[in-house]
Amino acid sequence: MRAELLAVGDELLFGDIVNGNAAWLGRQLADVGVELTTSTVVGDNVEMIAARVREALGRADAVILTGGLGPTQDDLTREGIALAAGVALRRDPFLEATLRRRFQALGRQGPVGAGFEAPEMNYRQADLPGGAEPLPNEVGTAPGIRLETAGGVVYAMPGVPGEMYPMFTGSVLPDLLRRAGEPAVVVHRVLRTAGVWESVVAQALAGEVDRLAPVGNPMIAFLASGGQTRVRISARAGDRAEARRLIEPVEEAARAALGIALYGVDDDTLEGTVLRLLAERGETLAVAESMTGGLVAGRLTDVAGASAVFRGGVVSYATEAKESVLGVDPDVLATSGAVSPEAAAAMAAGVRDLLGATNGLAVTGVAGPDEQESKPVGTVHIGMVGAFGTLTRSLRLPGDRRTNRIYAVVQALDALRRILSVHTC
């Protein structure tokens, strides 16, 4: 079965709200073997909604809309579906009575006090395209819509996630599965990498991608975000065990190709992996941060149980703080500068000693937008001190201030992870 998503709302077009519903629905559909071919956003315009629905029905078996089912004048999904299907809207008396009872039970009060009646426009939510069936909404007031057409089936759900999620799982998904018969089970395996660009990961797996292309099952996809790249291996089969068997040789080949760049699978996190390696070694960690301003420590303390190995951190943002708090030699700062490998190494040693940790990790650099010490924006120096000795890593990041700070955190954690992975206690 093929499906298309259509999100309705000017707020999505203008960027006031991020379309998280599409991401969630995409995962749900993929997990049950429904092929999602297109995901589109359209504004609050009846003719445009109708046109997109008609186009989608020409390509897919099912069209799933979100948003535009509320009571206000700009909620036009009902009208758009009716226009696409060539039918009129009708007021469902049962839905209207249900809404009236619900508003009465809620005891809603208006600006004039007790006795206020819900505005009449609220009952627009009881309007359905001719031939459509309502989908129950146990959380909000706007019912969903299911409409059979000559081209396929159209579902419409509220855009509010708390209302859309249960409506999809309780009404839309069972109906989709019934129509699809017995769709194949789809199983995913996600391999997580850090410290390398997406193109490098894709090049490493190019041979495996080419080998799988003629059959298309399993499939490999590359998902880059936040300075990391995920490799998703997906297989479709009659049951989960068979899908896993299809994935196993692909995963084995991918692991061999990715090598040390691979840090975890599925729900693993980079910071969680670092903390796990430290715990396995019986070691602790302290961090010193300049350009990242506490983001490294924040990522580490997001992990439950981090206190077992993480001693703490120091944000030595000002150059003076590097000397007065961390004990960085003023000659180092004067000669090499605060943005230098030498400063990063001294910061790592200083915070390790200050907080009594086994290992020290430090980040200094130029986030932007302006140069510092004649060093270009994106310059990053990472210092590490531990049983492995003193090591530094220097790199140049290509982003803006926000991106550089996020990527610097990933690079710092990954640099330490690589050292802990290969260096024996």
- What pLDDT does 139 receive? 87
Asked if residue 172 has pLDDT above 90, the reply is yes
Question: What are the structure tokens assigned to 291, written together?
Answer: 């350009």
Q: What mean pLDDT is predicted for residues 171-180?
A: 91
- What pLDDT does 389 receive? 96
* pLDDT tens-place string over residues 30-40: 878 788 999 99
User: Would you place residue 424 in the very low, low, confident or very high pLDDT band (cuts 50, 70, 90)?
Assistant: confident
CATH class of 2-180: alpha beta
Report in angstroms the alpha-carbon separations of 251 from 195, 196, 232, 266, 422.
Answer: 20, 18, 10, 12, 22
pLDDT: which is higher, 116 or 136: 136
DSSP state of 169: I
Contact by Cβ (8 Å): 293, 317: yes
Asked if residue 156 has pLDDT above 80, the reply is yes
Matching CATH number, 185-265, of 3.40.1160.10, 3.40.605.10, 3.40.30.10, 3.30.70.2860: 3.30.70.2860
Can you tell me the distance from the alpha carbon of 347 to that of 287, in angstroms, rounded to the nearest whole number? 9
Q: What are the residues facing 372 on neighbouring strands?
A: 375
CATH 3.90.950.20 positions along the chain are 270-422
User: Would you place residue 119 in the very low, low, confident or very high pLDDT band (cuts 50, 70, 90)?
Assistant: confident
- What pLDDT does 183 receive? 58
Report in angstroms the alpha-carbon separations of 419 from 154, 181, 383, 385, 424.
Answer: 54, 51, 12, 10, 9
CATH 3.30.70.2860 positions along the chain are 185-265
pLDDT: which is higher, 141 or 103: 141
Q: Which amino acid is at 286?
A: A
* pLDDT tens-place string over residues 291-345: 999 999 999 999 999 999 999 999 999 999 999 999 999 999 999 999 999 999 9
* pLDDT tens-place string over residues 57-114: 999 999 999 999 999 999 999 999 999 999 999 999 999 998 888 887 766 444 444 4
Q: What are the residues facing 220 on neighbouring strands?
A: 233
* Segments of 92-138 assigned E as strands: 127-129, 133-135
Q: What mean pLDDT is predicted for residues 167-175?
A: 94
Neighbours of 26 (CB within 10 A): 15
Asked if residue 255 has pLDDT above 60, the reply is yes
Asked if residue 182 has pLDDT above 70, the reply is no
% of the chain exceeding 90 in pLDDT:
83
User: Would you place residue 115 in the very low, low, confident or very high pLDDT band (cuts 50, 70, 90)?
Assistant: low
Mean pLDDT of the chain: 93
**The Cα angle at residue 196 between residues 194 and 199, in degrees rounded to 5:** 125
- What pLDDT does 32 receive? 81
CA dihedral 332, 335, 340, 344 (to 10 degrees): 0
Can you tell me the distance from the alpha carbon of 383 to that of 364, in angstroms, rounded to the nearest whole number? 8
Fold of 270-422: Maf protein (3.90.950)
